[in-house]
């Protein structure tokens, strides 16, 4: 992909923006159906009671290990079985194995690119802004998802939850992405849907735009401090493009 950066001027408020980082689940793609199918397979195989979509939506965003551990603990409790840290740890490896099998079996036909994403990414490209995805989802799930939805061609690179020892809300993956893009964090915009994204961006020194759709651990997104809130990535691109010359 070409690295012709900033052919047009882009600003969020008074801050110049030279590159964009994007979250994946709940920001680019609605993957709730995929999570539900994968976790359903895991729980059924373990002969544990099913979870709910609302519980899954509240738990998404901190990586697959956290998701599986939390859902497993809840299902053990619902079944009246020991669900302390040790009990969960004893079943965790098998649960993760079954979760990945369930995710692979689900395919990606259930993944839905959010409205405004494709045209928004095209508009950001037209502004000359290089883009990268920084997600807590493991690479073995994140890369095929971007490929299957046709979004991979619009980003420079992907950093996943297992790309580094630390993940969001730690700023480290964002700082590494800024460095790879050759941009100071202060001139990079993080687009996400959760408190995790906002905390990582704030600690890194990036601007943060939060989307009103998505997951955010089941909490209203406007309770999370950000530079701005939007209804779509297309709306973000339009605002950046409207910056005064």
CA distances (Å), 105 to each of 102, 141, 182, 195, 226, in order? Answer: 5, 12, 38, 30, 37
161: left (phi over 0), alpha (psi -120 to 50) or beta: alpha
Q: Is 19 helix (H, G, I), strand (E, B) or coil?
A: strand
CA neighbours closer than 13 Å in the CB half-sphere of residue 11: 9
Which residues carry out catalysis? 23
> Could you give the maximum distance between any two Cα atoms of the chain, in Å?
63
DSSP count for the chain of H helices, then E strands: 9, 10
């Amino acid at each position: 992909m070409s690295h012709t950066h900033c052919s047009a001027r882009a600003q969020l408020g008074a801050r110049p923006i030279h590159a964009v980082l994007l979250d994946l689940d709940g920001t680019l793609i609605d993957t709730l159906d995929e999570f539900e199918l994968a976790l359903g397979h895991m729980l059924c195989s373990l002969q544990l009671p099913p979870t709910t979509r609302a519980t899954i939506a509240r738990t998404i965003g901190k990586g697959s290990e956290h998701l599986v551990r939390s859902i497993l603990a809840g299902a053990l409790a619902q079944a009246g079985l020991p669900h302390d840290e040790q009990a969960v740890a004893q079943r965790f490896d098998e649960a993760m194995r079954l979760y990945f099998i369930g995710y692979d079996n689900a395919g990606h036909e259930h993944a839905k690119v959010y409205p405004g994403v494709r045209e928004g990414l095209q508009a950001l490209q037209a502004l000359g802004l290089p883009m990268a995805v920084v997600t807590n989802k493991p690479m073995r799930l994140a890369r095929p998802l971007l490929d299957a939805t046709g979004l991979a061609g619009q980003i420079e690179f992907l950093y996943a939850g297992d790309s580094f020892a630390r993940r969001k809300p730690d700023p480290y993956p964002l700082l590494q992405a800024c460095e790879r893009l050759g941009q100071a964090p202060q001139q990079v915009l993080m687009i996400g849907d959760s408190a995790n994204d906002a905390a990582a961006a704030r600690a890194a020194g990036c601007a943060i735009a939060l989307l009103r759709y998505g997951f955010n651990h089941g909490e209203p997104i406007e309770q999370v401090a950000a530079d701005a809130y939007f209804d779509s990535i297309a709306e973000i691109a339009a605002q950046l493009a409207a910056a005064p010359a």
